[in-house]
Amino acid sequence: MKRRLGKSPRIVGCVASEAALRRCARRAPADCDWIEVRLDLTGPCGGAWADLCAAAARRGRPVLLTIRSAREGGRWRGREAERTALYLHGLAAAAAIDVEIASPAFGLVAAAARRRGVAVVGSFHDFRAVPAAARLAAVEARGRALGADVVKIAARVRNAADLARLFAWPAQATGPICVLGMGAKGAISRVALPAAGSCLAYGALETATAPGQLGCRDLAKELARWGVRPRGDRT
């Protein structure tokens, strides 16, 4: 993933349904550089999910595979061993995977991904507030130690202090970082944090998958409007 990020932040379009994934397999969506296939939301698509991911990649949209645990806001409530097996199977079609840093399987899945040249996003979510700086530093350090190429921190913004902590973090990070604020008060961070060094910007292709998430088209327009990246840039 690092070699494909380019100088501008990459827009990741979130795929949240089987119908959306099937559309991406037929035709590349506009206004995003990658697609995030949320397998916990799309379901297995009758067993065709990996083939659909591969087809979408051939359309020019690399796949970031995510199977988000219910513990961090997703809908996966099955066994961890089963989720791990799905991640390992998906390595053949994905260009990157997103696994929670707190997951017991993170190290195993990250090591398997790196052996195959698949990038690893180690993620952390807090739906209550933005953690203290020391906690953020500990999360990042653990993610990098376990093999994350990009550390992603998503947290609910309650007030100005929360927002300020998020904006300070890209400059303090020790490697590629994705930082975003959730909720109404964090909406500005979806556009402004990419200007501050966050390397991924997430947008919805249809239904938002996180509080405060913009649609890909609106996100692309706003990033272009503020000079964060040229309109239509996919370098």
Please say if the pLDDT value at position 135 is more than 80. yes
Given this model, what pLDDT does residue 2 score? 42
Establish how many alpha carbons lie within 13 A of residue 223's alpha carbon, considering only the half-sphere containing its beta carbon.
34
Predicted TM-score (pTM) of this structure: 0.94
Q: Where are the alpha helices (DSSP H) in 63-147?
A: 80-90, 106-115, 133-145
Closest CA to 169 of 147, 182, 186, 152: 152
Residue pair 196/228 in contact (Cβ under 8 Å)? The answer is: no
Q: DSSP label at 127?
A: S
- To the nearest whole percent, how much of the chain has pLDDT over 70? 94
Q: What is the mean pLDDT of the chain?
A: 93
Q: Distances from the Cα of 137 to the Cαs of 109, 172, 180, 212, 231, in angstroms? A: 22, 9, 16, 24, 33
Look up the CATH number of domain 2-122+190-225. 3.20.20.70
Rounded mean pLDDT, 118-136: 96
Please say if the pLDDT value at position 4 is more than 60. no
Given this model, what pLDDT does residue 207 score? 84
Given this model, what pLDDT does residue 6 score? 47
**Domain-wise residue ranges, the chain:** 2-122+190-225
Residues 15, 208: Cα–Cα separation, whole Å: 9
Mind listing the pLDDT tens digit for each residue in 38-83? Answer: 999 999 999 999 999 999 999 999 999 999 999 999 999 999 999 9
Given this model, what pLDDT does residue 210 score? 84
pLDDT confidence bin for 3, thresholds 50/70/90: very low
pLDDT confidence bin for 229, thresholds 50/70/90: confident
